[in-house]
Structure formats: structure tokens, C-alpha cells
A and B are shown apart, each in its own frame.
Chain A
Amino acid sequence: EAQVTQNPRYLITVTGKKLTVTCSQNMNHEYMSWYRQDPGLGLRQIYYSMNVEVTDKGDVPEGYKVSRKEKRNFPLILESPSPNQTSLYFCASSFREVSYNSPLHFGNGTRLTVT
């Protein structure tokens, strides 16, 4: 089954403790991206990657890192999480050119709480 898999689904951590949220897709997509969803703000793009070893900042990259060493994986790293990073995070992927036949495919989300 074609899917984007994020782990974990829920994560509670403390300020300053490094964490990684994993994202993996099995559709051979070149494009992968991370978003955070906050009430009243919708989804905001954190980082995206057009292909292996190619990453770029979205609208809200501060406090986050990503890497794209393999085509299928795109982990999101919070080196020193802070409470304002408490949010619902989504990973998404697509073929290089988003089209009607290749929309963004989303994972089921990771709810992160930083205390």
C-alpha cells in the first residue's frame, strides 16, 4: 500500500531534549516536505526537499533541521525543543512536479507536546 509513515504519532518531551520525528514514503517520490498545523493558522511549511541531498527552507524553519540522505526518508530534527514548538506535524511527499495524478500525500501526523 502506498503511504507516508510518520513516527511517533504522539510525543511528549521536555524543553531542550533533542528529538527526531521520522518520515518514510514507499512511492519513490522525489519531493518531501514537513508542515506544522496550529489552530487558526492552518498548515505552515517548515522545510522541503526536491531530492536526495537537496533541502530548502519553508516559511517557519527556525528551530528545526532536516536531512535527506535517502530518497524514502526525511526526518525532522528538533535540536533543542521549546514549548512554542508544541504542534501537530505532518510529513508529505509527491513526485517532483505536483500534478493531478500526483498530489501531495500526507502522513497521519505527529502530535508533539514540549513542556
Chain B
Amino acid sequence: GNSVTQMEGPVTLSEEAFLTINCTYTATGYPSLFWYVQYPGEGLQLLLKATKADDKGSNKGFEATYRKETTSFHLEKGSVQVSDSAVYFCALNNFNKFYFGSGTKLNVKP
């Protein structure tokens, strides 16, 4: 089957710290992988995406690399800001169905 597992939160960091949020997946075939971000009271927004093995998605200083050998898509940012505080969801798309992880809440303190 298809599933996504991501690290439990909340994750609390100081501004300018390095961020890693782990995500691993199980899938049949060749899924696309995504990171979505949810700010309070809003719907999810696409942060970045990768469609095949070894692709690196990047946006707004965030990066994630599609690692087929470890079935992982870890999210990283070199220097977080207070404005990055949100809930982050790892997701996969396979045959027009989406599967989301449980979300990781990030709190960034000034």
C-alpha cells in the first residue's frame, strides 16, 4: 500500500537554526513527493515537490531530495525564521490519489 510517515512534533527551534523534518514513505510504482505547509486557519499550500528519484525540490530556502534507496524525502532549511512557524505535511501522489503524513508543527522562537 501507500503511506507516509513523518516525525512527530512539535519541533521548537531558535531563529537562524538548522531545520530537518524527516519523512519516509511506502509506495507502489513511482510516486511524486511533496511538502505542503499549513499556516493557522488556512488550507495547505505547496512548498516544494519532486517527481522522480534524485530530484531535489526547493523553494523559499527549503529543500528536499527524493531518495528512492531510503524511501525518504526529508525537509531541510539552513536558517529558519519566525515566519516559518507552521505545520508541515509530507505527501505522495500515486495514481491520482494523495497520501499525507500526520504533519509536524514547527515553532520558531525569536
Contact = CB atoms under 8 A, between A and B. Distances in A.
Contact of B49 (A4, A59, A103): A103
Contact of A45 (B32, B41, B46, B97): B97
Q: What does DSSP make chain A's interface, helix, strand, loop or mixed?
A: strand
B23 to A, nearest CB: 11
Contacts, number: 53
Given A42-B89, A43-B89, A107 B100 contact: no
Interface string A33-71: 101000011111100101000000011000000000000
Contacts of A48: 96-97
Nearest to A90: B43
Interface size class of B (residues with CB under 8 A): 20 to 34
A58 B97 contact: yes
Given A31-B96, A48-B96, A104 B44 contact: yes
B93 A98 contact: yes
A107 B46 CA distance: 13
Nearest to B32: A98
B101 A33 contact: no
Given A43-B89, A98-B32, A103-B34, A4 B43 contact: yes
A113 to B, nearest CB: 17
Contacts of A58: 97
Interface of B: 4, 32, 34, 36, 41-46, 49, 51, 89, 91, 93, 96-103
